[in-house]
Structures are given as structure tokens and as C-alpha cells.
Structure 1
Amino acid sequence: MKHLQPLVKKFTANSLGKEMSSETLTNYDNLDIHSNFSYDENWYIYEPMGDLDDMNRDAISDCRPTIPSNLYHICMAPVSLAVLLVLSLLIKRKHLYKSCLNGAPGLLSPVHFLEEEGNRGLTVAVFSILFSSLCVLVLDANPLPFVSSSSARSREYWKILALFYYPAFYYPLIACATVQHRIGYFFGCLLSWCHCVVHLWQKVECPESPKIYKYYSLLSSVPIILSLAVLSLWYPVRLVKSFRRKGETAEEVLGNGYYKEYLKNILAKRAPEKNIGKAKPSVFSRFQSYLYSYIYTPQEGFLIPLKLILSLAMAVIAVYQVALLLLVTFVPNIQIVRSGMTKDVTALLVQFGLIPSENTMGLPGDKELAIAKHYVWALEVCFVSSLVVSCLLTFSMLMRSLVRHRINLQRLYRGAGVDVFHRPRQLQPSQQALVCWMCFAAFQAAFTCLGLLIQQIVFFTCAVAFTFLVVIPLQSGANMYLFKVAENMWPFWLTLVVSVLAQNLLTHFCFLEKAHSQKELTNRRALYILTYLLFPLNVLVGVLAGVWRVVISALYNVVHFCQLDVSLLSHGVEAFDPGFRTYCYYLKIEVSQSHPAMKAFCSLLLQSQSPQGPKELQPSDIEEGVMLMQQPAQKASHRKQNCARWCLAYTLLNNPSLLPYRKGVLLNAAANGMQTSTVKP
């Protein structure tokens, strides 16, 4: 008992909360511990406690980089604002002094969404930075960088304010390219290099963070760093190209090359197709065509619109961010649970019958502990495998959507709107159509996030049920609940199978007679009798078919949830599907405002009108080129006028959807600043 006296002294002194004199402590030496304490050698108070630092050795302290986020935003936000002001002054100087800086283009918009050619990689990179920043913002304790500490009540207000701050903060990265001037490229180099260096420096100094998982902050910032690296390389290349040319960079009309290639492709002569017999395609050819429907391959003479490319890129980043969040939230925690399992936890599982025990006393041993850890490992495997399957299915559905986008656009370009919308629709811009066009890329990213979450929940539940009801019972020979139910119900299942087989065999051999290459009904009296007698069995078969209908409908909707080009409802009520309705209105705006044949002819008319060629054409001139389709060029030759009229007639014949727009323009000719007299094509 003497070795316990120092512990008792220490425990008593700490419990009193004050220093005790040596005389007082000496009095405890003369106490009879047996008379005052009910001693138990296994009492946890007397067990030596480990060092607290050893218990928290895996804890990660909050790292403070040399350039914190608040200082980074405080410095870069004024710089970004100054860049925008300089670019605005550059535009004003163009209007005040047209000869100054050789008439640099103005900052009309951040991105030319309705143009087919342009800075696609730049646009995708900037939107990737913005979307990834918003994904990190949702889980951040301080959503606004300027506010270091915010209460839980005011945090939601700061998040709403941050939704407007981050687009404005990254706006100069994309605006510098839209100016199409070497000054803009120079500012773009400075901004992209500053952003990239600061992000890399922060992650190198502090690769670990205490939020969710030690490497979550680093992994979630990978799309931002890669996009900034692309911008850091793209702007210097453009700046060097601008200095190699004489004077300022004179850009061609956006989409001019693509429109001409598209026009050449549809006007090119094609070899007549060989008549192939009506031979039934083989299984391999059908499988090959089905596989090609999920693989997007570039097609000559066609280019996917920028909005679709942007929506697909945002969907891929959404899959990465959601999958990363699910992975770092579940897997490290389940590994901690598995490594920390003891016999006490195993005893609880044994008492509930979840783990079989060979010990008659019900006390778990090493074998039961190993089984419990194996079950937890099986949960981890089910989660990871279901997440991999969900990501692969989502990627395949997105690729399938890209193939369908091209098919739908080609159908609408040639005027076959019924094949896309399943009913006649006018391709005219409207308020709702324009709103849906603006929201399309954002809706695609949001639907992809929700679809991946739903798929993960469904597939993980199915994987756990299959593992613990089929795989593990077959391995251990215990908990055979599913097999016991199937064993007790085998007469029922056998009866249903025999009834279905009997109906199919009797229908094939007794109730159908092939005569003159056609099948006719025979033995109708026996058919009526059999239909009456098998009615009860067919009711049970119908119940199983109804269950299968629910299962297959749920799986189909879960798998295709991320596809906006496929309605999850029937044709009669597909208008209530917000995703499909947004996609249909997006197609209306895209086809009515960015038809490649229409823009190709407009660019040709503008080139015939301007003697200096396409170098002086601006991107906004394509919209103005429609006016030249209603009046002949005064300085153009008669041959060019006839060619333009023939091209216009050919376009209207092959694209009937363009005819209403031409009539509307001709009726409102005076309002458009044209002559009141119209010229027939």
C-alpha cells in the first residue's frame, strides 16, 4: 500500500485546489487507507494516465502562412479594381480619340457565349477557379476573407455577400482577354502570376489543415491551382504573339473560320450511299454502335457551343469536389473506428447477435474482435466501391449528354424541331428562354452534385445489403437470414417460374399458328380457359412486376439525374421537369441567335461590303450583318448580289425555322434603321 500513498496525496491535493503544507501531507502517511477507502486494484483512478500530448499527437494545429488569406484579398482586390478602371479608360480613349492606340477593341462582355470560336480554355479556367472557390466557401468558417471571425448567426449573411464578391474578384482574369489588346494581356500576366504564386506559396507552407481532413484543403484547391497555371501560361503566349505582329493585334471575327467550314461542309457534294441489304446487324455491331453513343468524337464541320463545353467542365469539377468531400468525410473516420475497436465494443455486437461467437459464456475473444474489424473494413470497401461506380456512371452520362447535344443541335440547324421537342415549337427568344439560357451551366453543375449524392446513397445501401446478406453469410456460414427466407419460400418462387414458362411455351406452340408468313391465333377455347385459370397466379406475377417497375424506374432516374437533355417524366408532363425545360429553352436561344449558316452568310456579306477584307470586322458586326441580307450592296457587283441572294434562298429553304425571323425583320425594317422598301431574295 505504500506505493499508492504518493498518488493519494497528489489526487487529494489536486481535488482541494490549493497547496498543502508538508505537515498536512505528513498526516496522510499515518492514515489507514484500508479504513477510509474501499480499495480495488483495478480502479481506474489509480491507473497511471498517459501524457495528453501522446493522445493528441495526430491533431493538426492551425497553420498560419506568411501571406494569409485576408491580407491576400486586401491587396489583390484594389489591384483588380485598378485593372478594370484602366481597361475602362482604354475604351473611353477609343471613343474620344479614335487614332489613339490604333482603336483597341472595347470591353463589351467578359465572354462571347454565343460565338463558336474564342478563348475557350481561358473561359473554362476562370469559371473553374470561381466554382472551386464557391465549393470551398460552403464549408469555410469565415466565408468572406475580410471578416476573420464571424458568429454562427451572421455567417449566412457573409456567405451571401461572398457569392457576389468572388465573381467580381476574379472578373479581371477574364476581362483582360476580352479587350484583345497587349495592355490587357500584360495585366492578365500580372494578375494570373500573382494569384498563382500566392496560392502555391500558401499550400507549400501549410499543406495540412484541421478542417475535415488534413489534406482536404490542399486537394480541394487542385482545380484552382491548375486553372491559374493555365492562365499563367496563356497570357504570356498571347502577349508575345501581340508583339510579333505590327501594331496592335487585329483579331478576326469570332467564329468566322468555323462558320465558313460549316458552310463548306453542308454544301459539299457527297458520294451516293451504297444500297445495303436489309440484313439484321450482328450483335457485335450493335454493341459497337451502343458503345460509340457514349463516346464523343470530334466531327468535321461541327463545333460544340461554348456554353455546353462550360457546363460539362463545371460538372466534372462538381463530381471531383463532391467525391472528394464524401471520401475524406467517411474513410478516415471509419478507419479510426476500426483501429480503436476493443473487446468491449465487440461484446455489445455479440449481445445483439451481429457477430457470431463460439464462446458459450458470451465473452468475446480475439476471433470475435477480428470479425468485428472485418465487418467495419467491409463497410469501407462498400463505400469506396459505390463512390467509384457513382463517379464512373456520372462521367459516362455526361459524355452521353455531349453526344446528344450534338445530335439535337444538328437537328435544329436543319429545322427538325419535332425530333427534339416532340412537338412543334417556335425558335424565338423569350424572357423565360433567356433566363434558362443564363442558368444552364449553373443548373448542370448543381444537378450533377445532387445526382452524385443520390447515387452514392443508393449504391452504398445496395452494396451494404448485398455484402452483409449474401457475401459475408456465405463466407462465415452465420446470419443466413436471406437464404432462410428463400429456402422457406422456394415452392412459391417455383410456382411462379413454372407458370410463366408454361404460358410462354403454350403461347408459342399451341396458340399461335404461322400461315403465309404471318402468325394467327388458334385454339381460342383453350386460350380462354387457360387465361381464366391462371388469373390468380398472374396477379402474383404482376405484384413482382410492379416491384421491379418501381426499382428500375428509381435506378433509371438516379443514374440519369445529371442529364438535362433527358426528361425524367413522360412526354405529356415533361414541362414540369425543371432540368429538361431549361435545356429546351437553352437550345432555342442557342439556335436562334447562333445559327452557323446564318452567321456564315452574314460574314460573307460583310466581307463583300468592306473592300479591306475581314481584318476590320468586329465581333459585334455579325449581328449588324443581318441588315445586309435585306438590301443589296451598292458598290458590289451584280454577280456578288446574285450569289448572296442565292445563298439566302438556300438557307431559308433548308432552315424553315429562320423564315419567321426574316419576316419579322422585314416588317420592322424602319425600326432597325433600314430602308422601308424591301428586296425579295
Structure 2
Amino acid sequence: MAANGSGGLRDAPPDADDLGADWYIYEAAEPAVPQDDMFPGAIPACEPTISPRLYHLCMAPVSLAVLLGLSLLVKRRRLRRSCWKGVPGLLSPANFLEEEGNRGLVAAVFGVLFSSLCLLVLDEDPLPFITHSSPSTREYWKILALLYYPAFYYPLAACATLRHRLSYLLGCLLSWGHCLVHIWQKVDCPQSPKIYRYYSTLSSIPIIICLLLLSLWYPALLLRSFTRQEDALDQEAAGGGYYQRYLKALLAKRLQKASSTKMEENLLARLQAYLGSYIYTPEEGFQIPLKLLLSLTTALIAVYQVALLLLVAVIPSLQIVRAGMTKDIVVLLVQFGLVPSASPAVPSDMERELSTVRHYLWALEVCYICSLVLCCLLTCAMLLRTLVMHRTNLRALYQGAVLDVFSTAHILRPSRRAVACWLSFAAFQAAFTCLGLLIQQVIFFVCSVGFTFLLVIPLQSGTSSPLLRVIQTMWPFWLTLAAALLLQHLAAHYQFLEQHPLRKELTNRRALCIASFLLFPTNVLLGVLAGLWRLILSALYNALHFCRLDLSLLSRAAEAFDPGYHCYCHYLKLEVSQSHPVLRAFCLLLLQPARPGAPAGLQPSHVEEGIQLLQAKKAAGSRGRFKQSRARWGLAYTLLHNPSLSACRKTALTDPTANGAQLGPPKP
């Protein structure tokens, strides 16, 4: 019996009653899809030889013992006598306000910690000590895990802070233990039933890479401690070398002579300059702060983890649907008009329709993968651009140019908001990167699917595109709008604007008013199109720049309500006020002891002069005194003309007792 409906099987041949049997025969004749590929849950759960519970039960006490031993090794009375009456205290994982030498080591520890937290979100047992947790208590264990993992990986960073051979040895043992266990677990059980068979292994790649870096870094520090002097290591860890290099590059800078002939830049040169602004190239005497390095590391790991999750959560499912597509599902899609068909009742055409549906699903996979790759590339480009802007903003604030960075004048001093934003800056950068990548993936996937199915596939199959049909139907409307827009621009240029050699004047005002009244309805339609373009452009711009904290997504009047930009501004305040390289170089020169064979001009009372920065060899006589005086005035000029220090300097100069002056009764 022929089926009747909107799709129409009215003209079916007499053997159409047996069409259903043919479908089932075709389905049975299709090659069976492997059960493991169709259902990831069919993969048996693998228990490694060293289970996560055993690993944490063994390594957590070891880490705690290492941390306590290092705390006992360094007493608090050596750091601060009035703190806890000399009782040993907790070691710092890193001095984030100093330019330490082990920046890569701290970044690797943060990479391990952030990757562990990314795996924690989807783990059924968030706390390793608690197995088979119920859904009602799982969220409480996740909260405890947020506190446990930072404490678990704390000794990996604290071992480098002590700058002692024993601490380096303990760091070697800890990093080797963590690295070997993680590698052994993934080699023992490379597949898991969670989301995708290889998701657990692929998501652990950043952890293994960071642990491998730690396993090589700590032995290098241990070997260097035997070959280099202790004071050189202390100076490098305290950042003294960096501050002196920064000041040396600043004082040695010479003004370049301006070129008399100005070369005209072509389009290729401007394009190269624009692309070069997205590439961070190291500059002599400057390095980004440690907090920025940590934020960039966690942001890149966030891009990898989110992209991997988006990939394995969608693509295998689409492949399963494409492999399991049958003729009865194709007929259902044809009946709903989702698949075009000339004669869907003919069995020979069902093969073509089945291949068409599979081609559509394959196009969805291509669109999804291409949009994901594009989102990852754009996010990485935005992060590199952020790094360039960080350097520009920091150098401007170091020079005191506050208005070049902020829209209003700010005082660069610590505050409650600045401290809170400084604490959360790196975490905010990672979180904003995750959300920005998700938003970009949704937008670009929808746009790519619309472009593919509305334009590419119809042109490929030779059918009419719905988008082209709309354009062809409304061509008088589009032609009218284009003509009105062109007419206004031509009239404004030739009729309503009188050009003089030095100025431009408005003319034909009566005709201008008449045209404004007559073209008002047409301009309303143009305004609707401009409004739609404004909406699309602002959505794309905000989605692309969502991961950037150095600029606000709101207007200048409302930028204080942007939490990301607000955090970035206060972070810069604290970073510049506490880690100004010129001020720290000046303090280090004051505290630097005199050399045993130094000449008379380099006495301990004269160490604040910059003579040691500008002369590499010892100079004697008047030449040495001249360089010494020039370096002294150069350093004084730099500190005197720094607006960021003016507030503190003004307070000290207005104090009558600042220079030892005695207050007395006024003279009559």
C-alpha cells in the first residue's frame, strides 16, 4: 500500500510494499560497526598497577615530610626575628614579586596543578582517597580536592625556594617520583571508558610534560650548586642581575637620529608590521613578571584542555551516527524535508540518499574541526598580543606615563583591591581563556555550518541555494538600498561639500534639507542593516577578545564594571609599585658591599653611583671620576623624573624633619 504524505510516495511502483523488507536486508548487509567504537562505555575499566589511591596515599605523606623538613632547615629567626618568635614557618612556593631565576620551574608546577584541576572537573572520584563516591557527596569532595591538590604539589615549588643542595636533592626525588608514576599509569592503562577511550591519556600530556621539565630542572640546579658560588646564586634568585641589566640598558640607551627622508610604507610593509605586533620578541634589559608568565602558561594549557574536551565529546559521536546511518532513518529525514530527494520511493535512489546523509554528517565534522582549529589559533594569537601589550603597559608605567595605560589618573600604590586582584590575576586569565574558547567555538561552528549548507553544498550538488533564492527574490530591494547609499555619498561629495585649498565648507543647504527629508524612509532600512552589522561585529569582536584582560569589552565610561579589566588594572598597580626595576636596582646598589680591590672612588658610601653599570673595566684618574659623575647624575635624573615616585617623594620633602631639621619657634 503506497504511503501518502507531504513527501509523497503516491507514484510508488507495485513492489513498494516490500520496500521495508529491503531496508532491513540492507541494514543487515551493512558491515557491523565495532562495538567499542560505537559505545565508549563498552571499554572495560582498567586498574593500573599503581592506582591513584595508592599513589596519593604514598606521595602525600612524603610531600608533607619534605615540606616539614625544609621548614625545619630554615628557621624564621633568619628571616624575621619578631615573627612567631623564631618558630620555623612554611616555606614560600615562589617569590612572585621578585624576578627569580627559576621562572620555568614555577611555571611547570603551576601547569601540573592546573592540569590536575582540569581533570578534577569530570572525575567521578575527585578526591583520590575516596573511591565510589555518591552523586550527593561528590560536590563536597570536589571542594576538598580544590584545597588538597595545591597542598599536594606545594613541595615541588618550595624545594627551589630554599636554594640549598639538600632541597634540590629532595626536589629531584619528588619530581622523579611524580613523573614515573604518571608515565607508568598511562602506559599500563592507556584507554579508559570516560568520554573517549584515549581522553584520559591525552589530557594527561601537559602534566607529564611539566613533570619531565621538573625532573630535568632540579638535577640541573643541583649540579650548578656544586659549580657556582652561593652568593652568585643568591643574587640571581633575588633578581639582582635582572634589575642591574634593566638599568644598564636604560642608561645606555641613545636617541636615534631621525631620518631626513620619510619612506612611504606599502601595503605589504604595513601588513608585516601588523602581524609583527602579535609576536612577542624579547628585548634587551626587559623580561615579563613571573605572574604574567604563569598566566600565559595556564592559559595555553586551558586552550589545550578545552579544545581536547570539545573534540572528543562531539567528533566520535558524529562518527558513530554516520557509521550507523540506515535507510529507514534516511526515509524519515526525507519525509521531514531535511534531505532533498526526487523519487525517494525507488530503492535504487535510497543508496544515493544514504550517501547524501553521510556526506552531510561528514560536512558537519569538517565544520566542527575547522572552527575548533580556527578558535585555538585565534585564542593563541590574542594571548600573544596580550603579552606584547603587557610589556608596553609595564614600560609606560615604569616611566610614569599613567594616562598612556589608564583612561583616568591613578596612584600607583598598594590597596585592598590591588592585592585581591593581584592574587587572582593568573586564575582569572585561565578562566577567561576557557570561556572565550567555548564562546568562539559556538559562534564559528554556527557560522561555518550556515555557510556550508546554505551556499557550498547547494552549489556542489547543483541545486538552488536558499540564500541565493532570497537574494534573487529581493534584488530590487537590495538594488534600491545600494543606489540610495551610493547617491548620498556622491551628492555629499559633489553637491553638498565645497572644497577650498585649505578648508571644506557646506553648500546647497536647501537641497541638503530636501534630500534629508526624502531619503528618510530609505535610511531607516539602511539603519536596520547597519544595526544588524553592528550587532554581528560587536559579538565577533567581544568573542575574539574575551580572553584578553588588558582591554575592556565595555565603553570607557563603564569599563570599571568589567571584572577582567578591573582585575588587570589593579594588578598593574601592585606590580609596578612593588617591583619597579629602577627602584630595586637603586636599592641593590645601595646594599652592594665594596669590592676588596676597588679604587678610592668606589667606597661603600659611593656604591649608589651607577659607575659599575656603565664601565666594564676599571678606570683610573679623571676619566674614571667623569664616568662616575655621569652615572650618578643619570641615575638621579631617572629617579627624579619618575612620576610614580612623586607622591612618596613629595611627602618626604614636605616633612621639615625629613633631613634632620629641628623644629623651633618662629622668628619674630
In the superposition, the TM-score normalised over structure 2's length comes to 0.84
Per-residue deviation, residues 154-189 of structure 1 (Å, max 9, x unmatched): 000000000000000000101000000000000001
What does residue 18 of structure 1 align with? none
Kindly tell me: are residues 523 and 656 of structure 1, through their superposed partners in 2, closer, same or farther at Cα, counting changes over 3 Å? Answer: same
Contact 1:409/1:587, CA 8 A, preserved across alignment: yes
Kindly tell me: are residues 193 and 248 of structure 1, through their superposed partners in 2, closer, same or farther at Cα, counting changes over 3 Å? Answer: farther
1:416-495 equivalence runs, <5 A: 416-478=401-463, 480-495=465-480
Deviation at 1:264, TM superposition (A): 1.5
Per-residue deviation, residues 117-138 of structure 1 (Å, max 9, x unmatched): 3211101100000000000010
What does residue 92 of structure 1 align with? 75
Kindly tell me the number of residue pairs found equivalent between the two proteins. 603
What does residue 400 of structure 1 align with? 385
Deviation at 1:321, TM superposition (A): 0.1
1:45-124 equivalence runs, <5 A: 55=35, 59-92=42-75, 108-124=91-107
What does residue 214 of structure 1 align with? 197
Kindly tell me: are residues 664 and 182 of structure 1, through their superposed partners in 2, closer, same or farther at Cα, counting changes over 3 Å? Answer: farther
1:231-270 equivalence runs, <5 A: 231-245=214-228, 250-252=233-235, 254-270=238-254
Contact 2:33/2:324, CA 8 A, preserved across alignment: no
For 2:509 and 2:293, the matched residues in 1 are separated by 59
Secondary structure of the residue that 2:499 maps to in structure 1? strand
Contact 2:71/2:90, CA 8 A, preserved across alignment: yes
AA in 2 matched with 1:449: C
What does residue 157 of structure 1 align with? 140
AA in 2 matched with 1:330: V
AA in 1 matched with 2:333: L
Identical columns (%): 61
Contact 1:331/1:380, CA 8 A, preserved across alignment: yes
For 1:228 and 1:666, the matched residues in 2 are separated by 52
Kindly tell me: are residues 664 and 158 of structure 1, through their superposed partners in 2, closer, same or farther at Cα, counting changes over 3 Å? Answer: farther
Of 545, 559, 576, the residue aligned with 2:561 is 576
Secondary structure of the residue that 1:508 maps to in structure 2? helix
Contact 1:242/1:248, CA 8 A, preserved across alignment: no
Per-residue deviation, residues 190-218 of structure 1 (Å, max 9, x unmatched): 00011011011111110111110011000
The yes-or-no answer on 1:359 pairing with 2:343 is yes
Of 129, 147, 170, the residue aligned with 2:130 is 147
Of 209, 212, 221, the residue aligned with 1:226 is 209
AA in 2 matched with 1:412: L
Cα RMSD of the aligned pairs, angstroms, is 3.3
Bigger Rg, which one:
1
The yes-or-no answer on 1:596 pairing with 2:570 is no
Secondary structure of the residue that 1:520 maps to in structure 2? strand
Contact 2:299/2:433, CA 8 A, preserved across alignment: yes
For 2:370 and 2:352, the matched residues in 1 are separated by 27
AA in 2 matched with 1:659: S
For 1:261 and 1:243, the matched residues in 2 are separated by 25
Deviation at 1:249, TM superposition (A): 7.9
Kindly tell me: are residues 524 and 396 of structure 1, through their superposed partners in 2, closer, same or farther at Cα, counting changes over 3 Å? Answer: same
Kindly tell me: are residues 556 and 276 of structure 1, through their superposed partners in 2, closer, same or farther at Cα, counting changes over 3 Å? Answer: farther
Secondary structure of the residue that 1:252 maps to in structure 2? helix
Secondary structure of the residue that 2:48 maps to in structure 1? coil
Gaps of 5+ in 1: 1-39, 99-104, 614-624, 626-637
Contact 1:608/1:640, CA 8 A, preserved across alignment: no
What does residue 11 of structure 1 align with? none
Deviation at 1:266, TM superposition (A): 1.7
Of 631, 636, 646, the residue aligned with 1:659 is 646
Per-residue deviation, residues 329-366 of structure 1 (Å, max 9, x unmatched): 00111000000000011011100111111216376610
Kindly tell me: are residues 269 and 111 of structure 1, through their superposed partners in 2, closer, same or farther at Cα, counting changes over 3 Å? Answer: closer
Per-residue deviation, residues 514-571 of structure 1 (Å, max 9, x unmatched): 2223322333332222222212111111111111111101110000000000100011
What does residue 509 of structure 2 align with? 524
For 1:210 and 1:267, the matched residues in 2 are separated by 61
Contact 1:112/1:118, CA 8 A, preserved across alignment: no
Secondary structure of the residue that 2:405 maps to in structure 1? helix
Per-residue deviation, residues 78-108 of structure 1 (Å, max 9, x unmatched): 0001101111111139859x9xxxxxx9965
Deviation at 1:513, TM superposition (A): 2.8
The yes-or-no answer on 1:514 pairing with 2:514 is no
For 1:66 and 1:478, the matched residues in 2 are separated by 59
Deviation at 1:652, TM superposition (A): 3.4
Of 181, 184, 196, the residue aligned with 1:201 is 184
Kindly tell me: are residues 474 and 678 of structure 1, through their superposed partners in 2, closer, same or farther at Cα, counting changes over 3 Å? Answer: farther
Of 273, 284, 288, the residue aligned with 1:300 is 284
For 2:181 and 2:661, the matched residues in 1 are separated by 60
Per-residue deviation, residues 371-429 of structure 1 (Å, max 9, x unmatched): 00000101101100000110011011001111111111111011110111111111110
AA in 2 matched with 1:382: C
What does residue 6 of structure 1 align with? none
What does residue 374 of structure 2 align with? 389
In the superposition, the TM-score normalised over structure 1's length comes to 0.83
Of 515, 527, 547, the residue aligned with 1:562 is 547
What does residue 619 of structure 2 align with? none
AA in 2 matched with 1:387: L
Secondary structure of the residue that 1:437 maps to in structure 2? helix
For 2:650 and 2:101, the matched residues in 1 are separated by 31
Deviation at 1:676, TM superposition (A): 8.1
Kindly tell me: are residues 276 and 581 of structure 1, through their superposed partners in 2, closer, same or farther at Cα, counting changes over 3 Å? Answer: farther
1:316-335 equivalence runs, <5 A: 316-335=300-319
AA in 1 matched with 2:290: L
Kindly tell me: are residues 247 and 325 of structure 1, through their superposed partners in 2, closer, same or farther at Cα, counting changes over 3 Å? Answer: closer
For 2:267 and 2:21, the matched residues in 1 are separated by 77
Deviation at 1:645, TM superposition (A): 7.5
The yes-or-no answer on 1:544 pairing with 2:563 is no
Secondary structure of the residue that 1:567 maps to in structure 2? coil
The yes-or-no answer on 1:182 pairing with 2:169 is no
Per-residue deviation, residues 209-252 of structure 1 (Å, max 9, x unmatched): 11100110000000100111011111111112222357898521
Kindly tell me: are residues 279 and 610 of structure 1, through their superposed partners in 2, closer, same or farther at Cα, counting changes over 3 Å? Answer: closer
For 1:150 and 1:532, the matched residues in 2 are separated by 72
Contact 2:421/2:568, CA 8 A, preserved across alignment: yes
For 2:401 and 2:354, the matched residues in 1 are separated by 66
Mean Cα displacement is larger for which, 232-241 or 211-220?
Answer: 232-241
Deviation at 1:489, TM superposition (A): 0.6
For 1:465 and 1:269, the matched residues in 2 are separated by 55
Contact 1:398/1:562, CA 8 A, preserved across alignment: yes
AA in 1 matched with 2:61: P
For 1:330 and 1:678, the matched residues in 2 are separated by 76
